Structure 1
Amino acid sequence: MSKRNVINASLASARSLATIRRRNTFFNKCIVLIAGNVALLGCTFSESACAADAISNPVTSCEVLHWDRKGSAFPYLSVVKPGKYCIDQDYRFSCSEWLGSCGSSAFLEIFANDVEVDLQGHTLSLSGSSIEIFGRGRNIVIKNGVIKKGKIAIQSLHAPSSDNINRGGGYTADRFDADNFTRVENMRIETGSIAISAANAVVRNNDVALNAGFLAPVVIRGPHPVVENNRLTRSTQPSKFSSYGIYLRDVEHAVVRGNTIRNYGTSGNTAAVALRDSQSVHMENNRIDNFERPLEQIDATDGQAGVN
Structure 2
Amino acid sequence: MYLKHVVGTAAILAIAMAAPVSAHEEISPPRLIWFFLSEGVKQGLGMRPAWEAWSKVPKDVPAAAQGAGDCEVLRRDDSISVMRPMEIVRPGKYCLDRDYEFACSPSAHDCAGRMIDIRASNVDLDFRGHTLRMSGTRRYRGVWGTGQKIRVHNGRIEGAGAGVTLMDRGSSPGNAYPDMPVDTDDVFSDTGFVVENMQFSGVLSAIEIAGSGNLVRDNRIDAMLDATTAGGPPFALLSYGPFARIVRNTFHLRELTPGWSGHAMYLRSADGTQVGDNTVSVDGACAGTVGIGLSRSRDIVLHRNQLDTEKMTDLDWRSSLDSAAMNGVKSGAQRAGAGQGCPEVAGKPANS
Task: Report the TM-score when normalising by structure 1.
Answer: 0.74
Is 2:216–2:245's contact at 8 Å kept on the other side of the alignment? yes
Residue aligning to 2:25: none
Residue aligning to 2:202: 191
The 4+ residue runs of structure 1 with deviation greater than 6 A are none
Task: Report the count of equivalent residues.
Answer: 247
- Note the 1:15-164 alignment, pairs <5 A: 61-69=70-78, 73-100=82-109, 103-130=111-138, 131-132=140-141, 133-150=143-160, 151-162=163-174, 164=176
Question: Counterpart amino acid of 1:169?
Answer: V
Is 1:200–1:224's contact at 8 Å kept on the other side of the alignment? yes
Is 1:172–1:250's contact at 8 Å kept on the other side of the alignment? no
- Aligned-partner Cα distance in 2 for 1:157–1:88: 30
Residue aligning to 2:270: 251
Task: Give deviations 1:218-256, integer Å, cap 9, x for gaps.
Answer: 111101111000001111435332111111011010100
- Aligned-partner Cα distance in 1 for 2:111–2:85: 9
Q: What's the offset of the Cα at 1:257? A: 0.3
The DSSP-based 3-state class of the residue aligned with 2:284 is coil
**Pick from 222, 230, 248: which aligns with 1:209?**
222
- Aligned-partner Cα distance in 2 for 1:162–1:142: 20
Identity across matched positions, percent: 25
Q: What's the offset of the Cα at 1:114? A: 1.1
Residue aligning to 1:242: 261
Q: What's the offset of the Cα at 1:154? A: 1.0
- Aligned-partner Cα distance in 1 for 2:212–2:68: 27
Residue aligning to 1:273: 292
**Pick from 176, 179, 182: which aligns with 1:169?**
182
Question: Counterpart amino acid of 1:89?
Answer: R
Structure 2 CA distance for partners of 1:122 and 1:279, relative to 1, 3 Å: same
Structure 2 unaligned segments of length 5 or more: list them: 1-66, 328-350
Is 2:237–2:264's contact at 8 Å kept on the other side of the alignment? yes
Structure 2 CA distance for partners of 1:97 and 1:184, relative to 1, 3 Å: farther
Q: What's the offset of the Cα at 1:262? A: 1.1
Structure 2 CA distance for partners of 1:271 and 1:126, relative to 1, 3 Å: closer
Is 2:176–2:240's contact at 8 Å kept on the other side of the alignment? no
Q: What's the offset of the Cα at 1:156? A: 1.2
Q: What's the offset of the Cα at 1:165? A: 2.6
**Pick from 288, 291, 294: which aligns with 2:307?**
288
Structure 2 CA distance for partners of 1:59 and 1:207, relative to 1, 3 Å: farther
Task: Give deviations 1:130-182, integer Å, cap 9, x for gaps.
Answer: 44211111111110000111111111112134365331323456x011x3200
Hey, which of these two has a bigger chunk of strand by percent?
1
Task: Give deviations 1:68-95, integer Å, cap 9, x for gaps.
Answer: 4577721521111111111110112433
- Aligned-partner Cα distance in 1 for 2:287–2:300: 25
Comparing 273-282 with 260-269, which one deviates more in the overlay? 260-269
Is 2:173–2:239's contact at 8 Å kept on the other side of the alignment? no
Larger radius of gyration: 1
Comparing 276-285 with 69-78, which one deviates more in the overlay? 69-78
Task: Give deviations 1:203-226, integer Å, cap 9, x for gaps.
Answer: 100001111345221111101111
Task: Report the TM-score when normalising by structure 2.
Answer: 0.65
Question: Counterpart amino acid of 2:220?
Answer: D
